[in-house]
Amino acid sequence: MNIETVFNLKSTYRDDFQINGYKFGKGEKTCCIVGAMRGNEVQQLYVCSQIVKALSAIEKKGDIARGKEIMVIPSLNPFSMNVQRRFWTVDNTDLNRMFPGSFEGKTTQRIAAGIFDIIKEYQYGIQFTSFYIQGDFIPHVRMMQTEHKNISLANLFGLPYILLRKPRPFDTATLNFNWQNANTSAFSVYTNETERIDEVSAQTLVSAVMRFLSRMGVIKYQCHGGYMATTLEEDQLMSVHTNSGGIYRRIKQPGDAVEQGEPMAEIIHPFDGSVQEEIISPANGIVFFAHKSPLVLQNSVVYKIIKRLHV
């Protein structure tokens, strides 16, 4: 393993802003794995640390294929993580809305440009990221629906679901979209935690990455075969909204089966403790996403359901 500085930004009043990459093997730039891009993505950082640990052991055994290089970047935003803020500490910008970046732009654009200039050379790109709504997912692989998407490769992770998303205007500034435009086979991988470490789902994702690298002939690694993935389009997910705000008590969890009319959550009045609203499932299906924050606003999305998958 070689630790290299992949980006360095000089600072007048404090230590330089430095991003390190962990390289395994030598040869063609085969796979780049990117972790926490936001300051609260603790689970994503942890998953990458476990991938670094696993690849270190694999490399010591000589089980990385000759002529293949893997790079892992556990965090692209350590400053925000240090002060426990989700976005860039100075101007509250989202680094994952700054790609491909600009060397003449604001700080986050310069960081994005410096990183992207290096990682766009890799054949495969894996990003561990989080959703804009606080909550938990069934672990899955997400891809932008561009001409460069490759569903057959996404199946190699062995995760239960592949979600295809039609790019919206703000998606054109994300890492996944720009990676694909640079002819990198890019995958965003979602876990069921962000701010808290969940060992079970973390190990699920580590195994998924090892499985992908093994099936692509990059490493020698034996693990469980995983799932035969179900491919979904984002439009197929049914969103469940709240009619009122208050204290949120979740009943159904990601992966739970639900029936139409079944209670999924309660909204409790924050002052008198009465149940203001009972969130009812609008369809038969599987819970794909569940809101997690203890407070919720009116008209918030609290669940996303895969309709009639188990029927």
SS3 state at 42: helix
CA distances from 112 to 9, 58, 118, 172, 192 (A): 12, 30, 10, 13, 26
| Residue 220 · residue 77 · CB < 8 Å | no
Summarised one tens digit per residue, pLDDT across range 186-201 is 999 998 889 999 999 9
Q: What is the mean pLDDT of residues 144-169?
A: 92
Residue 175 and residue 271: Cα distance in Å, rounded?
A: 43
Whether 310 shows a pLDDT value over 50: the answer reads no
Domains present along the chain, CATH in parentheses = 2-228 (3.40.630.10), 236-307 (2.40.50.100)
pLDDT: is 309 or 178 the higher one?
178
Whether 72 shows a pLDDT value over 60: the answer reads yes
Whether 311 shows a pLDDT value over 50: the answer reads no
Whether 48 shows a pLDDT value over 90: the answer reads yes
Residue 144 and residue 129: Cα distance in Å, rounded?
A: 14
Q: To the nearest whole number, what is the mean pLDDT of the chain?
A: 93
| Residue 179 · residue 120 · CB < 8 Å | yes
Q: What is the mean pLDDT of residues 77-102?
A: 92
pTM metric for this prediction: 0.92
Question: Among 58-67, 70-79, 108-117, 217-226, whose mean pLDDT is lowest?
Answer: 217-226
Summarised one tens digit per residue, pLDDT across range 211-255 is 999 999 999 988 788 899 999 999 899 999 999 999 999 999 999
Residue 289 and residue 301: Cα distance in Å, rounded?
A: 10
Query: Beta-strand (E) ranges in the chain?
Result: 2-9, 17-24, 27-36, 67-75, 124-128, 135-137, 140-144, 161-165, 185-190, 230-233, 237-241, 246-250, 257-258, 263-268, 275-280, 285-291, 295-296, 301-307
At position 35, the amino acid (one-letter code) is G
pLDDT of residue 12: 62
